[in-house]
């Protein structure tokens, strides 16, 4: 598909484009470190500064419409976060969540129940260290490196499975096809959030991410939880609330 501008703001890129194929215009006319790419298959927002990525916890209310929580002019883009359980009137994340150096939810390997032990085997953790560098590890590997001492971590979120590792597809084939979302680390060190416009299997999604230049990619809670927001875009596959979401800011 030939590249063209959509509504004078966003570049619609070929589906196999390697980001950044083009410095797309920022809706706010600033923050050149952020880019938004749109294809027929996905929405993708990237930033050159991993520290501009934040996790907003909404455990008690849930977020069914991200636009409601992204009214500040500093929010460039946002996407749904990790898996969660319903407990009475709370939405409880099933994995690690750290924001601004504060642990908001425990890692799967810190929990004693059998469900969490199984999740540790296939979960992964995206993290930003205090020095601003970003990384992604399987939860079992993250445990070996950090244990329960998260003092060097500014931001982290745990979900799964790991889709891409060192540029290679890291997940097997599944028949389950649904809308997908992920957080990624690009070859050039950018970090990004991406949501598909159509249903995909995990393997199809992983192959797409590797093709556009993801060095590492972690699957987020997809399906009916899939949500993506940026100015002029507010996509949600259902009205289901989520326990948290990830946002990229411009300040």
pLDDT tens column, 18-63: 444 334 444 434 445 888 988 889 999 999 999 999 998 875 556 6
* pLDDT at residue 210 greater than cutoff 70: yes
Region for 100 from its dihedrals, namely left if φ exceeds 0, alpha if ψ lies in -120 to 50, beta otherwise: left
Sequence ranges of the domains in the chain? 4-249
For 52, the token pair is 């501009």
Cα(212)–Cα(141) distance, integer angstroms: 26
Average the pLDDT over 140-152 and give the result.
95
Residue 43 pairs with which residues in a beta bridge? Answer: 38, 195
* pLDDT at residue 159 greater than cutoff 80: yes
Share of the chain above pLDDT 90, in %: 51
Using an 8 Å Cβ cutoff, are 132 and 48 in contact? no
In the 8-state DSSP scheme, what is residue 18?
Answer: P
Q: What is the pLDDT of residue 174?
A: 78
Cα(226)–Cα(122) distance, integer angstroms: 20
- DSSP helix/strand/coil, 5: strand
Closest CA to 226 of 187, 185, 177, 189: 177
Using an 8 Å Cβ cutoff, are 143 and 120 in contact? yes
Average the pLDDT over 217-240 and give the result.
84
* Phi and psi, residue 72, nearest 5°: -65, 145
């Amino acid at each position: 598909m030939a590249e063209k501008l959509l509504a004078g703001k966003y570049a619609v890129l070929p589906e196999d484009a390697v980001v950044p194929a083009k410095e797309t215009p920022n809706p706010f006319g600033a923050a050149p470190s952020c880019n938004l790419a749109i294809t027929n298959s996905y929405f993708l927002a990237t930033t050159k500064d991993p520290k501009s990525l934040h996790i907003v916890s909404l455990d008690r209310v849930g977020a069914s419409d991200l636009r409601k929580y992204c009214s500040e002019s500093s929010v460039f883009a946002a996407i749904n976060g990790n898996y969660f359980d319903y407990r009475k009137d709370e939405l409880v994340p099933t994995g690690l969540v750290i924001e601004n150096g504060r642990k908001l939810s425990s890692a799967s390997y810190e929990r004693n129940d059998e469900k969490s032990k199984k999740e540790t085997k296939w979960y992964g953790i995206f993290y930003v260290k205090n020095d601003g560098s970003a990384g992604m590890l399987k939860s079992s590997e993250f445990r070996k490196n950090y244990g329960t001492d998260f003092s060097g971590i500014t931001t982290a979120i745990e979900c799964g499975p790991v889709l891409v590792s060192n540029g290679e597809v890291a997940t097997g084939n599944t028949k389950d096809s649904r809308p997908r979302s992920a957080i990624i680390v690009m070859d050039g060190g950018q970090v990004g959030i991406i949501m598909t416009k159509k249903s995909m299997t995990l393997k199809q999604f992983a192959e797409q991410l590797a093709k556009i230049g993801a060095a590492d990619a972690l699957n987020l809670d997809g399906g009916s939880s899939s949500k993506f927001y940026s100015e002029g875009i507010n996509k949600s596959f259902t009205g289901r609330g989520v326990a948290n979401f990830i946002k990229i800011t411009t300040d």
